[in-house]
Amino acid sequence: MTGLGMAVPAQAHQDELWRGFFVNRYAGTTRALAERIFANAGVRTRNAVANPLIEDVSGWPTERRMTRYLVEALPLGKEAVDRALVDAGVSAADIGLFAVCSCTGYVTPGLDILLARDMGMASDTQRLFVGHMGCYAAMPGIGAAADFVTARGRPALLLCNELTSLHLQPASARVDTQQIVAHALFSDAAAAVVLVPGDTGGYTVREVASITDTSTADHMTWDVTDLGFRMGLSPRVPQVLSVHVRDFIDGLLSRHELVLSDVDGWAVHPGGPRILNVVERELALPPDALGVSRETLATYGNCSSPTVLLILEAMRQLPDPPRRVVTLAFGPGLTLYAALLERT
């Protein structure tokens, strides 16, 4: 992984979003509950193509949201891709595989075709679109890109592009804690990464691994409705993670004759403060191990699939970047995905 690029729309402050918009959607005890959730979400600022302080899209039909998705996602993705290519010193014409992850919009021709055209990729560039995998999608995307690079000896490019702000849901008369949590956490971003063959610097992908507990498939959902996509987020998700995460990570590391103490970088998807607390506790990590993940949540919110790449980019900018990094994310399934990366 030799080049990373990111792009975000205009910034919004969490407290301003609460005071200027969301506080008026709730009343009585529900308002008090929502205020606590917003205050304790671990989010300081977020980014949105559809800032509710400027425009309320909660009543928009899905068709209108999808039209807006293409208008906003295309330039945002182009910016992230361009920055990743420049960072890697790779030409768009040299890309052999272009993979795109997104669960917040559907258009055909898709971002993979339109961006390949606009960025000057070759006509024989292979394309892969990964949809509806949610927050962990970057990892299977990295796995597919790394496999292509290994098998074909050509560079690959992965783009994760999510616009969750387009799926603001209408206010409800009943208490809907799951929607309050979703509205308090999610944000918009695009992030791209270039993978090339050989040890040319950057991070080598040693392994991508996953585990899925299908008995908890209803704990995290993303349903297409007439009013956009609706998040379902069970409060039992951290409990499920606590059951699986230690054995899963121990197994990944043991296959490379490593243990937890050999890892000096943890890029854990911040699905929320409770998620990070569970991972920290179950892996017995030192207090500062998830500092970059927590700061990413505070600065950008939960951006779904691009978030892990945002964390990796922040780690690369540290005075002494970590040598071994484990990326870890969670999503529908319930699925845990991880990648072991090593700086070369």
- Let me know whether 217 and 161 are in one domain: no
- The beta strands (E) that lie in the chain are given as 3-7, 11-13, 45-47, 97-101, 126-130, 156-163, 188-195, 203-212, 220-225, 228-233, 265-268, 324-331, 335-343
The H or E element that residue 38 is part of is: helix 28-39
Domain-ending residue, one of 153, 172, 195? 195
Closest alpha carbon to 6 in 141, 185, 188: 188
The number of distinct structural domains making up the chain is 2
- Let me know whether 176 and 234 are in one domain: no
- Let me know whether 127 and 50 are in one domain: yes
Domain-ending residue, one of 156, 173, 195? 195
pLDDT tens-digit map of 289-317: 999 999 999 999 999 999 999 999 999 99
Distance CA 306, CA 101 (A): 9
pTM over 0.75: yes
DSSP string, 220-277: EEEEEETTEEEEEE-TTHHHHHHHHHHHHHHHHHHTTT--GGG--EEEE--S-HHHHH
- Let me know whether 160 and 49 are in one domain: yes
Other CB atoms within a 10 A radius of the CB of residue 337 amount to 28
- Let me know whether 22 and 143 are in one domain: yes
The pLDDT of 280-292, averaged and rounded, is: 96
Distance CA 327, CA 321 (A): 14
- Let me know whether 50 and 187 are in one domain: yes
- Let me know whether 44 and 23 are in one domain: yes
Amino acid (one-letter) located at 308: V
- Let me know whether 48 and 99 are in one domain: yes
- Let me know whether 185 and 211 are in one domain: no
Domain-ending residue, one of 148, 163, 195? 195
Q: What is the CATH number of the domain that holds 155?
A: 3.40.47.10
- Let me know whether 180 and 275 are in one domain: no
Which residue range(s) make up the domain with 285?
Answer: 203-343
User: Mind telling me the catalytic residues?
Assistant: 135
Cis geometry, peptide bond prior to residue 310 (ω within 30 degrees of 0):
no
pLDDT tens-digit map of 136-192: 999 999 999 999 999 999 999 999 999 999 999 998 877 789 999 999 999 999 999
Other CB atoms within a 10 A radius of the CB of residue 223 amount to 9
Cis geometry, peptide bond prior to residue 109 (ω within 30 degrees of 0):
yes
